[in-house]
Chain A
Amino acid sequence: MNRTMMSDLALLIPEMILVGMALGLLLIARRIQKMPVALAGTVLAAIAAALASGWVLSWGSQTGFGGMIIVDGYSQFFKVLITATLALVSLLSVRSFDGEKIPRAEYHALLLLAATGMLLTVSAHDLLPLYLGLETMTLCAYILVGIRVERPTSNEAAIKYFLLGSFASALLVYGISLTYGVTGTTDFAGISASLSQHGPGSNLLLLAAIGLVLGGLAFKIAAVPFHAWAPDAYQGASAPVAAFLAAGSKAVGLAALGRVCLSAYGSEAPVLSAVLAWLAGLSIVVGSIIALSQSDMKRLLAYSSIAHAGYALLGLISGTPEGASATMTYAFFYVFMTLGIFGVVIALGERGEELDGYRGLAAQRPGTAVLMLIFLMSLTGIPPTAGFAAKFVVILSVVRAGHMVLAVLAVACSVVSAFLYMRVAVLMYMNEPQESAPARLPVAVFAALAAAALVTVIGGIFPGRLAPWVVSP
């Protein structure tokens, strides 16, 4: 190997750490089925990958593999977010193996490989590695959704997710090929350079390409009208896997959208912002309203995550670096509050999956109820929680872009969603318990919940502590 190959490979150290751990776990899979070795390995690998990504960035922003892979502040931000998601999800998974025939090592290996795909996606500087990363992630996600093989609902969810996911991948690939046809390249810088030569909106084929790529990516974040898979997949999957999809898949989809919109198709800003505004507005309205009628907690959170995808997209509408960093802030806080609320669902076991299971929780488990209240407040966007800071920046960005109607629509829907989230608070605090108290939290789940709550509260009080390292693509 020559030196450039070595330095190129060095850019992928975080990814290699995760892959290495995944392969290692698979090798010794049979010996560790009864022990939490896989959990420890996954958490360690996640921490190592996060540190490594910081180390790699400390050599300076650079591209490798002929400009296909980029290491910059933007990719580093999402890498830390993804590895944090990975660590928290594996901590939250400790209960999944009780009474289920889920192979521990394989489960964690799949999480690690999915996270590898995510890391690859956020550091892609070319449509092809972007696609490869997303497919790696989604392929593992299909299996994770269906990993509870003995449950018909789990199988059904996996098949639905797979069918719709393949359709979305096809859209994305078609969009990529059309882009290649128009510009002769799949490299972001190349696309941007080629597009700047003719005026925006002049090439119909290109507009179709952009629409297809955005559609394929919108599927990953479950934005309306590409959202149909999310409620079924979340409901059929185990709660930790649903959390992984809701937090990780969404963060990665947003990262890819941000990169594509700003680096590659930036010169088509008017079309992009119109498409994104519609995606965002529809997601917010549909997600908030349909969530109201749900009684299954994971389905409810699926619709709520659809609405949140819409809020996060608001930042990208402006097409400016400030807007993108607003979306990044939203994605960051959203990940932690989502993992937190799924953490409570997981902590309550079977009881947590039904809305009625929250009746009287405050009387039985006051501590868990307070945590839940914090996450609910954050999802509603009530200060002093991180959800407020997140909503503030994206609405700031959308008002700055001049979309006043969209801003009012967004805040109006946050009142609708307040009704939804506070209904859970009503059940917890203002109803009598009907079921016996849930079991005590395992230490791992408690640690994950505490971490999520800490970020949600501190991020709300001092959003600036996190904002300095928000950088744009």
Chain B
Amino acid sequence: MTPYPVLTTTTFLPLVGAALILLFASERLARWIALATTLATLAASLPLYLHFDKASSALQFVESAHWIPSWNIAYGMGIDGISLPFIFLATLLSVLCIGASWAAVQVRVREFYTALLVAETAMIGLFAASNLFLFFVFWELMLVPVFLLIGVWGGPGRVYAAVKFLIFTLSGSVLMLVGIIAIYLTCGTLDFKALALARANLQPAQQGWLFAAFLAAFAVKVPMFPVHTWLPNAHTEAPTAGSVILAGILLKMGAYGFLRVSLPVLPHGVQLFVKPMLIISAVAIVWGAYVTLVQTDVKRLIAFSSVSHMGFVTLGIFTLNRSGVEGAILQMINHGIISAALFLCVGMIYERTHTREIKDYGGVAKTAPVFSTLLALFCLAAAGTPGLNSFVGEFLIIGGAFRTQVWLGTMAVWGVALGTAYLIWLYYRVVMGEMNPGLAGLKLELNAREIATLAPLAVLAVCLGLNPDFVLSYLRAPVAQLLAGGVTP
């Protein structure tokens, strides 16, 4: 066993850092404290990877304590193979966010890093929570820091984007609250493990309503078509770190919710809704890709591509077969890595050019070879090129989709083709061709800090592409358990 409660430490360490910054630090010191905190958090989570038992589908590193005895609600932490990769992603991306904001954020520095660290606690906590109440607390805790990140340090349309983000996500999550309360009253517990047994108390019709209530929260977060409209605003206006957190982690919270709550606890609800879910996922893939094609703003383009890519994820989950679900989880990790990297790349170049319009770019490769190489790598990865990480996830999802319905697989393939088109076209317009005269004289090449920020993601994109078993080996046991739990397509 480990000498300290790993999950609790990992979760709340950022909060300690946030308190330190808020109470004591000067602006200069705030950056360093934030960096040290996120690195310490990453270090504190190391035992999770060293001592993890991949063969077990049960929750591991379980911690529990009395919390609100009068309501029969305990504090519970625990992870399985599905949550572990997300904790890794959250801790890693937090470090990179600090790196990306080092020079970009110059106003209200202390508040910025406080918000960032509070968001980190919420992200890690959500994936580590072993009961629904704690899950909801972290779910909502995420709201205000991200609202502030978008609204205070964002672009010109930041206030509208922040309020839209808040109202959309809150509308979904309050319905989830009613669902949680209904489950609590029927089953008498909110613990995930106990719920898997107590779910028999939930009548099939009731499960349908509950699924809809949770769907409201999860669909907004994913975001699924047609409640995705907050996403382009929020991702585009957010500062780079905000976009990274949004695209890298926040979008995964919804899909993780399906895996953690809907599938194991509400099998009848899933059965009732599986067809519409598959259809809107397929629509999101193709429709999202077409909308992405016509975008003229780099950041908005990447934002819309998330709608399409997250469509793959929900498609994979609701195929309800092993290939699809494993692919969906892998794809979530992949998308977390790649979209974060793309937003980082865009943010870095934006700091120099102060424009996001594609037509203002061109020929960047001539002065910024390293940037162009990295961007090429990430664009190819996002397009699903074999040998890079997204390929494996998309391949598994498409395989799962074909096994369910041939036309679903066809739609997904169509989406991949369109994805290649918009990414390559983006790369062509920004990096290749003649140098845009507007860029003349700008020092576009990345500095060492920026390269160091992007390098881990590049390494991950290649490694996961060559050896997806890094992640897949963790998923096998819990996904098998998930699908054996009575959910059939």
Q: Does A9 contact B (CB under 8 A)?
A: no
Is residue A399 within 8 Å, beta carbon to beta carbon, of the partner chain? yes
CB contacts between A and B, total, < 8 Å: 93
Q: Which of B71, B175, B178 contacts A467 (CB 8 A)?
A: B71
Residues of B contacting A383 in the complex (Cβ-Cβ under 8 angstroms): 136-137, 140-141
Closest to B148 in A: A429
What is the CB-to-nearest-CB distance from A429 to chain B, in angstroms, rounded to a whole number? 5
Bitwise, B139-174 to A at CB < 8 A (1) or not (0) is 011011001100110000011001100110011001
A151 within 8 A of B: no
Q: A362-B111, A411-B175, A411-B178 are contacts. A399–B152 as well, Cβ < 8 Å?
A: no
Choose one: A363, A423, A468; the contact of B108 (CB below 8 Å): A363
- Say whether A31 faces chain B, with CB atoms less than 8 Å apart: no
Interface membership of B460, Cβ < 8 A: no
What is the CA–CA distance of A470 and B68 in the complex, to the nearest angstrom? 13
8 interchain residue pairs of minimum CB distance: A411-B174, A464-B68, A383-B137, A467-B70, A430-B151, A383-B140, A415-B171, A399-B181
A101 in the interface, Cβ–Cβ < 8 Å?
no
Query: Is B108 within 8 A of A362, CB to CB?
Result: yes
Interface hits, B22-71 → A, CB 8 Å: 22, 66-71
The interface residues of chain B lying within 8 Å CB-to-CB of A373 are 144
Mark each residue of chain A from 442 to 473: 1 if its CB lies under 8 Å from any CB of chain B, else 0: 00000000000000000000111001101000
A307 to B147, CA, bound (A): 24
Kindly state whether residue B197 has any CB partner on chain A within 8 Å: no
With A383-B141, A392-B181, A467-B70 already in contact, the answer to whether A422 and B174 are too (CB < 8 A) is no
Residue in contact with A411 in the complex, picked from B136, B141, B163, B177, CB distance below 8 Å:
B177
A426 and B175 in contact, given A377-B144, A392-B181, A399-B182 (Cβ under 8 angstroms) = no
Chain B residue at minimum C-beta to C-beta distance from A413: B174
B-chain residues with CB within 8 Å of residue A467 when the two chains form the complex: 68, 70-71
Q: Is B402 an interface residue (CB 8 A)?
A: no
- Bound complex: CA of A243 vs CA of B330, how far in Å? 53
**Interface assignment of B185: CB less than 8 Å from any CB of chain A:** yes
Any chain B CB within 8 A of the CB of A94?
no
Determine if B184 is an interface residue (Cβ-Cβ < 8 Å). Answer: yes
Chain A residue with the shortest CB-CB distance to B150 = A430
Kindly provide the distance from the CB of B122 to the nearest chain A CB, expressed in whole angstroms.
Answer: 10
Residues in A with CB closer than 8 Å to B144 are 373, 377, 382, 425
Q: Which residues of A contact B143 (CB under 8 A)?
A: 382
B interface: dominant SS: helix
> Per-residue CB proximity of B175-210 to A under 8 Å, as 1/0?
101100110110000000000000000000000000
B181 touches A408 (CB 8 A): no
CB pair A422 B108 closer than 8 Å? no
Closest Cβ of chain B to A281, distance in Å, is 15
Q: Which of the residues A362, A370, A395, A425 comes within 8 Å of B177, measured between beta carbons?
A: A395
Contact residues of B between 356 and 394, Cβ < 8 Å to A: none
Residue of A nearest to B213 (CB): A408
The complex places the Cα of A426 from the Cα of B171 at a distance, in Å, of 18
Neighbouring A residues of B167 by C-beta, 8 Å: 415, 418-419
Task: Report if A13 contacts B (CB, 8 A).
Answer: no
Given A383-B140, A422-B166, 10 additional A-B pairs, CB 8 A = A362-B152, A377-B144, A407-B178, A415-B174, A419-B163, A426-B162, A430-B152, A463-B68, A464-B66, A464-B70
Residues of chain B with a CB closer than 8 A to A414's CB: 170, 174
Q: B181 to A429, Cβ gap below 8 A?
A: no
Is A396 interfacial (CB 8 A cutoff)? yes
Q: How far is the CB of A361 from chain B (nearest CB, A)?
A: 12
> What's the Cα separation between A396 and B182 when bound, in Å?
8
* Interface residue SS majority, chain A: helix
A399 touching B178, Cβ below 8 Å: yes
A412 touches B (CB below 8 Å):
yes
Query: In whole angstroms, how far apart are the Cα atoms of A419 and B163 in the complex?
Result: 8
Task: For B137, list chain A residues within 8 Å (CB).
Answer: 383-384, 388
Give complex CA distance A396, B147 in Å: 28
Q: Which residues of B contact A395 (CB under 8 A)?
A: 177-178, 181
Task: Please name all residues of chain B whose beta carbon is closer than 8 Å to the beta carbon of A388 when the two chains form the complex.
Answer: 137, 140
A400 touches B185 (CB 8 A): yes
Q: Contact mask A385-417 → B, CB, 8 Å, 1/0?
A: 000100011011001100010011001101100
Most buried by B among A393, A400, A430, A470: A430
The interface residues of chain A lying within 8 Å CB-to-CB of B111 are: 362, 366, 429
Q: In the complex the two chains form, is B22's CB within 8 Å of A468's CB?
A: no
- A426 CA / B144 CA spacing, docked (Å): 11
Q: A415, B108: Cβ atoms under 8 Å? A: no
State the CA gap A425–B163 with chains docked (Å): 10
- Which residues of A are found within 8 Å of B141, using beta-carbon distances? 382-384
The answer to whether B175 touches A408 (Cβ under 8 A) is yes
Q: CB-CB < 8 A to B181: which residues of A? A: 392, 395-396, 399, 407
Docked complex Cα distance between A384 and B134 (Å):
10
Contacts of B71 on A, CB cut-off 8 Å? 393, 463-464, 467
Is A462 a contact partner of B68 (Cβ separation < 8 A)? yes
Q: Name the CB-closest residue of A to B143.
A: A382
Q: Are the C-beta atoms of B170 and A430 separated by less than 8 Å?
A: no
Smallest Cβ distance from B170 to chain A, in angstroms? Answer: 5
A412 to B167, CA, bound (A): 11
B22 touches A370 (CB 8 A): yes
Kindly state the separation between the CA atoms of A408 and B162 in the bound complex, as whole angstroms.
24
Interface pairs (17), CB distance under 8 Å: A362-B152, A363-B108, A370-B22, A382-B141, A383-B137, A383-B141, A384-B141, A388-B137, A392-B181, A393-B71, A396-B185, A399-B178, A408-B178, A426-B151, A430-B159, A462-B68, A467-B68
Chain B residues whose C-beta falls within 8 Å of the C-beta of A393 in the assembled complex: 71
Using CB atoms, name the residue of chain B closest to A380. B170
With CB as the reference atom, state the residue of chain B lying closest to A399.
Answer: B181
B166 with A418: CB separation less than 8 A: yes
Cα distance A404–B175 in the bound complex, in angstroms: 11
A422/B147 in contact, CB under 8 A:
yes
* A407 surroundings in chain B (CB, below 8 A): 178, 181
Assembly CA distance A374 to B143 (angstroms): 13
B182 shortest CB reach to chain A, Å: 6
A407 vs B147: C-alpha distance when bound (angstroms): 26
Say yes or no: A399-B185 contact (C-beta < 8 A), given A383-B141, A422-B166.
yes
- Bound complex: CA A404 to CA B181 (Å): 11
Instruction: Give chain B nearest CB distance to A76 CB in angstroms.
Output: 18
Within the complex, the shortest CB–CB distance from A467 to chain B, in Å, comes to: 4
What chain A residues lie within 8 Å of B136 (beta carbons)?
A: 383
A343–B163 alpha-carbon span in the complex (Å): 26
Give A239 Cβ to nearest chain B Cβ, in Å.
25
Pick from A384, A426, A464: contact of B159, CB below 8 A. A426
Q: Distance in Å from the Cβ of B249 to the closest Cβ of chain A?
A: 18
What 0/1 pattern do residues 438 to 477 of B give for CB contact below 8 A with A?
Answer: 0000000000000000000000000000000000000000
Which residues of A sit under 8 angstroms from B110, Cβ to Cβ? 366
Nearest CB of chain B from residue A291's CB, rounded to whole Å: 15
Minimum distance in angstroms from A377 CB to a CB of chain B: 6
- In the complex formed, the residue of B with least CB distance to A422 is B166
**Chain B residues closer than 8 Å to A463, beta-carbon distance:** 68, 71
* A423 CA / B151 CA spacing, docked (Å): 11
Q: Chain A residues with Cβ under 8 A from B66's Cβ?
A: 464
* In the complex, chain B residues 295-330 whose Cβ is within 8 Å of any chain A Cβ: none
Q: Are B140 and A382 in contact (CB under 8 A)?
A: yes
- In the complex, residue of chain B having the shortest beta-carbon distance to the beta carbon of A382: B140
Q: Does the CB pair B170–A418 fall under 8 Å?
A: yes
Among candidates B162, B171, B175, residue contacting A430 with C-beta atoms closer than 8 Å: B162
Contacts of A418 in B (CB 8 A): 166-167, 170
Q: Is the CB of A430 within 8 A of B68?
A: no
Which residues in B have their C-beta under 8 angstroms from that of A419?
163, 167
Q: Which residues of B lie under 8 Å from residue A363 when comparing CB positions?
A: 108
A464 to B68, CA, bound (A): 5
Chain A hits for B182, CB < 8 A: 399, 404
A404 CB contacts on chain B under 8 angstroms: 178, 182
Give the shortest distance, in Å, between B67 (CB) and chain A (any CB). Answer: 7
In the complex, which residue of chain B has the Cβ closest to the Cβ of A463?
B68
- Give the docked Cα–Cα distance between A370 and B140 (Å): 18
